[in-house]
Amino acid sequence: MQARRVAVIGTGYVGLTTGACLAALGHRVVCADADAGKVERLRRAEVDIMEPRLPELVEEGLAAGRLTFVQDTPAAVREAEIVFLCLPTPMGSGGAADLAAVEAVADEIRAVLPHGCAVVNKSTVPVGTSERVAALLGRPDVSVVSNPEFLREGRAVQDFMHPDRLVVGSADEDAARLVADLYAGLDAPTLLMDAAGAELTKYAANFFLAMKLSFANNLATLCEALGADIDDVTRGIGHDPRIGGAFLQPGPGWGGSCLPKDTHALLTVCEQAGVDFPLLRATIETNLKHQQTLVERVVAGCGQPDGSLRGVRLALFGLTFKAGTSDLRDSPALAVARALRERGAELYAYDPALSETRPDLSDLLTLTATPEEAAGGAAACLVLTEWPHFHDLDWEAVAGRLASPVVHDFRNFLDAERLRRAGLTCRAVGRPV
Ligand code: UGA
């Protein structure tokens, strides 16, 4: 593998993982971020996201001189052979991906890109963005390549180093090969295609994953109605390799910084292409409906005659969108919390990844320092994130604090028998009541 000079613009979890891992593979990487404070912290190997092994890789890269951090984007790209754009593409108006950051950087680097370099889009972008970036750059000597990432938060380094596949798309085959060769040290099939195919692959992958989850959550509701156990059914179907057993664990709906944003953005892509994709709409709607079903279950369990939750205190265990991250973006736990709050509930929440002071959450709930504190006087406890730590809680202590001995295990991961011994009734999703 030939060591290359790489620039990475944007040091979010995708950019920083890409930069640190490429440095670990032997490349010389300059990462740029507009946030001066963040650049300072990264120069001291202080990583402010929860990503296993990432701080160590940053530290090693810095020590080896293969990884540097700058605030000045043009300075970062000046010597680069390959420039990665790892920029946020949040949900914009009407659900479409907002490309303002990608466009602003394209504008900023246009004049300083070295002759013949490749610009790689790692950000999740609508089909046609590579062409748009190429047009914005207006540099016939610079090729634009789409190389989407398939990293999961909380497992980003592991996923980078052990990918299922590498997808590299460009009209310029030489540029695509140059980018693919960066990963020569990794053991994974490389799929070369055009840019449109690579861009759509990313959306299709996240849509398919979301579809599997909506399927599993709906199936869980059916299991409850029929007296079957969702775990039996997903095990039963998952052994068929055409279906696969992964990503079928029911929960409080799917969330996070990617699946909701990308499914909505794909919906806009479909509309703009004049293609109706009912399965995509159903996938999104099922997620919302599933959350409403769970909320109604809590409301019914509280048994207030007017169907409200006024004056009812509830304990929420877990707020992040999944375990292993401190990320709250589009967290299903927060969606459930909002719906409960609208019904009048008073919410006390404990999450091991969150400190007690979160002014952004103060209108919605009160964060506590311990699970027992959250449970104090609550009519029910809702487990919303599958933190392993909850499995081994002192459930007797929690039972002693609850006003009513009810636990809703919305992640289906607690040991119901263990909770029963602690005097608690545990209701899971998709299991016979
Ligand atoms: C997702 C994809 O899994 C990655 O492949 C992709 O690269 C990434 O988005 C992205 O586009 O950047 P991530 O957002 O980290 O990764 O989260 P997931 O692990 O996929 O979980 C998404 C949601 O589904 C979470 O709310 C999680 O709790 C839920 N989930 C996941 C379930 O409810 N059940 C499962 O069996 C799996």
Provide the residue-wise pLDDT of the chain in tens; the chain has 433 residues.
899 999 999 999 999 999 999 999 999 999 999 999 999 999 999 999 989 999 999 999 999 999 999 999 999 999 999 999 999 998 888 888 899 999 999 999 999 999 999 999 998 899 999 999 999 999 999 999 999 999 999 999 999 999 999 999 999 999 999 999 999 989 999 999 999 999 999 999 999 999 999 999 999 999 999 999 999 999 999 999 999 999 999 999 999 999 999 999 999 999 999 999 999 999 999 999 999 999 999 999 999 989 899 999 999 999 999 999 999 999 999 999 999 999 999 999 999 999 768 889 999 999 999 999 999 999 999 999 999 999 999 999 999 999 999 999 999 999 999 999 999 999 999 998 7
The top-level CATH class assigned to 5-202 is alpha beta
pLDDT at 388: 96
Name the residue ranges covered by the structural domains of the chain.
5-202, 227-433
Whose CA is closest to atom 16 on ligand 1? 152
Distance 257 CA to ligand 1 centre (A): 9
Task: Find out whether the beta carbon of 209 lies less than 6 Å from any atom of ligand 1.
Answer: yes
CB of 251 sitting under 6 A from ligand 1: yes
Is 13's C-beta closer than 6 angstroms to any atom of ligand 1?
no
- 150 CA closest ligand 1 atom index: 7
Catalytic-labelled residue, pool 258, 302, 381, 426: 258
Q: Confirm whether 5-202 and 227-433 share one CATH topology.
A: yes
Any ligand 1 atom below 6 A from CB of 371: no
Give residue 355's pLDDT.
78
Q: From ligand 1's centre to the CA of 280, what distance in Å?
A: 17
SS3 per-residue string spanning 242-279: CCCCCCCCCCCCCCCCCHHHHHHHHHHHHHHHCCCCHH
pLDDT at 93: 83
AA identity, residue 35? D
Q: For the whole model, what pTM was predicted?
A: 0.96
Which pLDDT score is estimated for 91?
Answer: 86
Residue 147: per-residue pLDDT: 98
CATH architecture type of domain 227-433: 3-Layer(aba) Sandwich (3.40)
Report how far ligand 1's centroid is from the alpha carbon of 23 (Å).
26
Ligand 1 touching residue 254 (CB < 6 A): yes
318 close to ligand 1 (CB < 6 Angstrom): no
Q: Decide: 69 in ligand 1 pocket, CB within 6 A.
A: no
For tokens 């933190």, what's the residue?
387
Q: What is the pLDDT of residue 1?
A: 81
Separation of alpha carbons 344 and 313, rounded Å: 9
**Which of the listed residues 124, 151, 155, 234 should we mutate to test ligand 1's pocket, taking the one with most ligand atoms within 8 A of CB?**
151
CA 412 / ligand 1 centre spacing (Å): 17
C-alpha 259 to ligand 1 mean position (Å): 7
Q: Ligand 1, closest atom to CA 247?
A: 36
pLDDT for res 95: 85
What's residue 433's pLDDT? 77
- In three state form, how does the secondary structure of the chain look? CCCCEEEEECCCHHHHHHHHHHHHCCCEEEEECCCHHHHHHHHCCCCCCCCCCHHHHHHHHHHHCCEEEECCHHHHHCCCCEEEECCCCCECHHHCECCHHHHHHHHHHCCCCCCCCEEEECCCCCCCHHHHHHHHHCCCCCEEEECCCCCCCCCHHHHHHCCCCEEEECCCHHHHHHHHHCCCCCCCCEEEECHHHHHHHHHHHHHHHHHHHHHHHHHHHHHHHHCCCHHHHHHHHHCCCCCCCCCCCCCCCCCCCCHHHHHHHHHHHHHHHCCCCHHHHHHHHHHHHHHHHHHHHHHHHHCCCCCCCCCCEEEEECCCCCCCCCCCCCCHHHHHHHHHHHCCCEEEEECCCCCCCCHHHCCCCEECCCHHHHHCCCCEEEECCCCHHHHCCCHHHHHHHCCCCEEEECCCCCCHHHHHHCCCEEEECCCCC
258 is catalytic: yes
Ligand 1 centre and the CA of 288: distance in Å? Answer: 16
